[in-house]
Structure 1
Amino acid sequence: MTRAVTGGGIGRGVNGRIGGRIGGRIGGGIGAAALVALTATGVLADEPGGRVKLGVLTDMSGFASDSTGMGSVVAAQLAAEDFAGEMPGVTIEVITGDHQNKPDLGSSIARQWLDREQVNAILDVPFSSVALAVNEVTRNSKAMFIASGPGTTELTGPKCSPNTVQWTYDTWALANGTARAVVGEGGRSWYFLTADYAFGHALEKDAGSVVAATGGQVAGSVRHPPNAPDFSSYLLQAQASKAQIIGLANAVGDTINSVKQATEFGITASGQKLAALLMQLTDVNAVGLQSAQGLYLTEAFYWDLNADTRAFADRFAAKMKGRRPTGNQAGVYSGALHYLKAVKAAGTTDAAKVAAAMREIPIDDKLFGKGTVRVDGRAVHDMHFFQVKSPAESKAEWDYYKHIKTIPAADAFRPLEAGGCPLADKKA
C-alpha cells in the first residue's frame, strides 16, 4: 500500500512515499520533497546505500489535519532540505501515513514501517492514544519516535521509552504555562469546560493544581463528550459560576466551537475571559479574531516571534498556499533536525546510539531556540504565553498573537523527578 510520487501528487493511502526534487508547491501536491540527496559520503556504515528514512505518521483528513497533516510533511521536508550537505552521500527519504486518529491503525502502520519499510524515525503522531500505541511499537526496536503532535505526559512519565522523545508540548506545560500566567494577571477564579476523556481530564487536573498552588480557586467544572455539536448547556453552567476565567480543557474542534458559542452567548462580552489550554494558530484562524480576541494560550512556537521564525514561516507558506506553520508543525521540523544531527554524530541510525546523541547534543535551532533532551525523553525548551489580538490590532493575515511573556525552559515543563519515568529512576 505504498505509492511513489515523482511529480504532481502525493500518496494518500495508508502509506505514501513522497519523492522527487526539492522544491515544488502544495497546490497540485508535493511533487517535491522528500527524497533529499545530501552531499556527503560514508557516514552510515549500517545503512545500505547510506539512507535515512523518516515516516511522518499524522492526521491527513481528520480534526487535527489543519494543525498537523500536510503541514507536518512539509516541515519534515524542510528539515531534510536544511540538513543537506551535512552528511556526504546520505539520502534522506520521507514517507507519510494517515492514522485517521485510530490507535490500532497507527500501530499497524508503524509496525509495517519498521518491519518492511526500514523506517528509522517516526515523526509527529497527533492524538495521544495513537502516540501511546506507536510508543510501544518503537520501544524495543532500532527506530526512534519523535513525538511532536501528542500532548499526553504519559510519554515522559510511566510510559516513557528510551526510543521516544516528546518534542513540542505536553498537557503539564500547557496547563502550567497558561494557568500560572493568567492567575498572575489577576484571573484568580476558574471554572473548567473539559472534554470527557483522558487528555481533557489531564489538562483540567494540571491547570487546577496550578491555580490552587498560586493562590487562585476552582469554582467547579463541567465535562462534555468529544466532538460535541452544542456547548450551550455547558457554557451556561460556566457563566452561572461567575468565575473570572473559563478554562477550556479541550482541543481542536471542541475548542473552536466552545469559543464561538461563548461569543454568541455574550459570555466574553459580559466580562468573563477564556483561557484555552490547547489552542493552535489554525484553531484561532477557524474561530476568527472577532470571537477569539482576548483569549489566553500557551504555545511552544509562533511564526511571527522573531526574524528567524518569520523566515521559516515564509518558506513554509510558499509550499502551503500562504498558510503559516503551527507549533506542532514547527515541532516536526525542529525534532527532525535534531534527530538528523544526532544521526550524524552517532554515525548510525540505531536508536540506542541516536537517542544517546540526542540527549548529549544541546537543542539549538532557529525555531525553538536552546534546550536539552532529558533522560525521560522530554525535550525541554522555552514556552510562550500569548493573548489573541483584536481585529483592530491585527495588521495582516495570520497576525493573531500578542506575546505576553516567555516561560523559561527551566520552568516550562514538569520536573524530571515528578513524572514517574522508570528511566529517570535508573539514572538516579
Structure 2
Amino acid sequence: MSSPIQVETVHAWVEPRAVACGLRAHPGLVCLLSDGEQKGRQSWIGAGPDRIQVIETDDGAFNALKDSEMHHHVVGLASYDSGARAATGAREPVWPDLMLARYAALLRFDHDRQQVVAIGLGSDAESARVECDRALQWLRMAEEAGTPVAPSEAFVAETSDQTYCDAVADVVARIGAGELFQANIARAWTGTLRPLGDPFDVFLRLARTRGAPYAAFWQIGDRAIVSNSPELFLSWDRALNRIETRPIKGTRGRDPDPQRDRALIDDLVASAKDQAENLMIVDLMRNDLARVCLPGSVTVDALFAVETHPTVHHLVSTVSGTPRPETTPAELLAATFPPGSITGAPKHQAMRVIAQHEAPRGPWCGSLFLLDDAGGLTASVLIRTASFERAGAHWSWRTLAGAGIVADSDPLLELAETEVKIRALREALVGT
C-alpha cells in the first residue's frame, strides 16, 4: 500500500474544550487534552474514525500496529492486563487487550503558538482535502458549556480499608523476605451514572478545573475512558530520533495554605523513601528502554524533579534513549509495557504479587497512545482514570488508585495516599 497523502490547514486558536463540547455526540470522539503547561504542549481532537480494531485477547496485540494502515493518525488503548498476563497467567479479561482507531481527520492544538492545525489523511490529495475540511468544520461547531452536575450518586469501594492495609503489610513482608523490592498496590471503586448521565460529563468536570498534561476522553461504542493523567509513559520524537519516559514515584497532597504547601514539597524532596522508590523505577525503565535503544544511548536526564498539580505534588524523573534504526512503535510498546511505575521491581515478580491482591485492572494503569501525523508516539500512563461501560441506557464505571510499596511503607500512610490520588476523580464523579 502506498503512503497516504496528508493535507493541513492552519486556523486561529479555538479552545479545545469548546470544540470537544460541540462534538460530544459524534461517534468515536477522542479528546487528548493537554493543560498547555509543563510537558504537555499539544492537544488533539478527532471523531468518526474510518477504521476500528478491537483485540479482545492476544499476547501479541501490539503486532496490530505493524498494519500499514495503522501507522499514522491512530489512537490506541492497551489494557494493563494484556501486559501482565505473561507474568500472572491466564486471567479473565475485563477489557479488550488493545483497542485501535484510525482518524482520517484530526485537529492538533498548539498551545505555544496558539493555533490549530486541521489535518486530513487520504489515498489521494482530493480525499485528504475532504478530510481536512471535515476537521475545519468541527471548529465552527465549538460551543461553550458550563460545568455539568456530578453524574454519579455513589462512590463505592470494592474492598475495605483493612483489606488494603493487609495487602500492603503482606507486600512489605515479601520485600523483607527478598521476594521483590517494590510493588504498586491499588484499590478500586465502582458506581453507576444517573439516568441521562454521560462519561463526557465527567471529562468536562475534570477538564474545567483540574487540567493535566495527558487528560483524555475516548469513546468507542459502549466503552469509554476519562483520564486526568499527569504521567508520560513514552514519547518518540521522530525529528529528534529520541525516546523519552518520565516515571512518577513520590506523592504529597496539596495544602491550600502556601506555607504548608511549600513545606510538603520540601518534605517530598527530602524523603529518602520516596527517592529510593523513584530510583528503583528509573533503573527499571532504563533497562526497558535499552531493549530497543542503541547501546550506551540510554541516559537519565533528570532525577526527582518536582511537578505540582491541582491536588498533588509528584517526584518525576526523565529517562531517554536513541532507538535502534529498525525499531517500530509496536516493538517499543511491547518492550516496555506495562509501565514500570505502576508495576514495581523486579517487574514480573511485582505483577505476580499484584495479581494475588487485586482483581484485573482493565484500562487503569494501561496506556492511551497516539501515533501522530509525523509518525511520532505519545503514550500516557492511565492513572487518575475511570473506565465506563454501557448496558442499555446506563453507564457503569470503575476507577482505581495505587501506591508504591517499599520496605518501610506504613499501611495507613499508603491508604491515605490512595485517597489523595483519587480525590479529583471522586469530586468529578460524585461532587464531594
Fold match (TM-score > 0.5): no
TM-score category (smaller protein): under 0.3
Q: Which has the bigger relative contact order, CA under 8 A and spacing at least 6?
A: 2
After TM superposition, the score normalised by the length of structure 1 is 0.26
Give 1 or 2: higher helix fraction. Answer: 1
